[in-house]
């Protein structure tokens, strides 16, 4: 990374902290102006408030990306703990599958294992899976399918997210995981800061794994995470990493992909 970019990345978390305070105040004020009981009685108020909620979650995602910029410069391994990866991924898929019909899409989870304990960092792995799902939903037209598959292979766990969307141009693939892409290389709005996929690759590396992308324009894309199939020692400690900040993790992670209807009060019952 160039020195100027490194200095900018170091500034991002400070900017994010200040924005997070302002966003919290805005969210509190919005909740007071349009409380849940009033929204339940007034569909028009609920629809307007849903747009506000979605905008809040989208901004919070941007703030999280700013916070993650410094993490991208850190090569240290993540503190891993033994968790059931099947349960973690299946829960994410179930929550996403419940919202996918709003886009006219289907989300499937394919796994022959009922349970499998391995060393992972739950919060960051969840963030990675949600980001891949968000991209898949965003770039797949109505009627399409997003398939998440988890399997074991030669001492590794392979987690793939495959969509039937528009695909990625071949010239984009070599730089897909690069940081700070130029505006001309960005995805259509809302595209964030271009840090999502670099962060996903960093999370994979923090687990001692890899993340690769395959795509065929017009037919879809597949992102495959490969993790060592191992368990953590008893001395490994976890650290707090709540990227959702106590808010609905699914709505936050998929805010850029979902329609505003997902943020209606009745949609969250």
Q: What is the pLDDT of residues 164-175, one digit of tens each?
A: 999 999 999 998
Question: Cα–chain-centroid distance for residue 249?
Answer: 9
> Does the CA dihedral 84-88-94-95 come out positive or negative?
positive
pLDDT band, very low/low/confident/very high, at 64 (cuts 50, 70, 90): confident
Across 60-86, b (16+ Cβ under 10 Å) vs e yields bbbbbbbbbbbbbeeeeebebeebbbb
In angstroms, the CA 183 to CA 32 distance is 37
Q: Which domain holds residue 172?
A: 81-253
For residues 144 and 182, membership in a common domain is answered with yes
In the chain, the number of structural domains is 2
260 contacts 51 by C-beta, under 8 angstroms:
yes
Residue the block writes with tokens 């307007």: 48
The per-residue pLDDT for 70 is: 72
For residues 107 and 41, membership in a common domain is answered with no
**Residue 148, phi-psi category: left (phi > 0), alpha (psi -120 to 50), beta (remainder):** beta
Q: What percent of the chain has a predicted confidence (pLDDT) above 90?
A: 68
Among candidate residues 139, 143, 148, 138, the one with its CA nearest the CA of residue 256: 138
For residues 203 and 231, membership in a common domain is answered with yes
Over range 190-210, report the average pLDDT: 85
pLDDT band, very low/low/confident/very high, at 195 (cuts 50, 70, 90): confident
Domain at 130, CATH number: 3.30.565.10
The per-residue pLDDT for 72 is: 77
For residues 135 and 236, membership in a common domain is answered with yes
For residues 102 and 184, membership in a common domain is answered with yes
- Report pTM: 0.88
Among 10-14, 36-40, 100-104, 186-190, whose mean pLDDT is lowest?
A: 186-190
For residues 24 and 143, membership in a common domain is answered with no
């Amino acid at each position: 990374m160039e020195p100027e970019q490194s200095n900018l990345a170091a500034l991002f978390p400070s900017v994010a902290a200040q924005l997070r305070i302002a966003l919290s105040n805005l969210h509190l004020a919005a909740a007071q102006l349009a409380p849940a009981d009033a929204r339940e009685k007034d569909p028009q108020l609920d629809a307007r408030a849903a747009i506000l909620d979605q905008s809040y979650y989208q901004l919070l995602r941007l703030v999280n990306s700013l916070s993650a910029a410094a993490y991208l410069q850190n090569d240290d391994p993540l503190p891993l703990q033994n968790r059931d990866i099947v349960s973690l991924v299946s829960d994410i898929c179930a929550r996403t599958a419940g919202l996918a019909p709003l886009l006219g899409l289907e989300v499937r989870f394919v796994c022959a294992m009922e349970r499998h304990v391995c060393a992972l960092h739950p919060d960051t792995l969840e963030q990675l899976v949600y980001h891949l799902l968000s991209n898949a939903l965003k770039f797949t037209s109505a009627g399409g399918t997003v398939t998440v598959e988890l399997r074991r292979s030669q001492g590794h766990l392979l987690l793939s997210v495959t969509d039937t969307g528009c695909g990625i141009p071949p010239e984009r693939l070599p730089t897909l995981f690069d940081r700070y892409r130029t505006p001309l290389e960005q995805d259509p709005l809302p595209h964030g800061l271009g840090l999502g996929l670099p962060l996903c690759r960093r999370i994979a590396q923090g687990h001692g794994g890899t993340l690769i992308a395959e795509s065929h324009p017009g037919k879809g894309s597949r992102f495959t995470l490969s993790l060592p199939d191992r368990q953590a020692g008893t001395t490994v400690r976890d650290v707090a990493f709540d990227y959702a900040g106590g808010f609905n993790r699914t709505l936050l992670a998929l805010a850029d992909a979902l329609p505003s209807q997902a943020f209606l009060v009745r949609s969250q019952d």
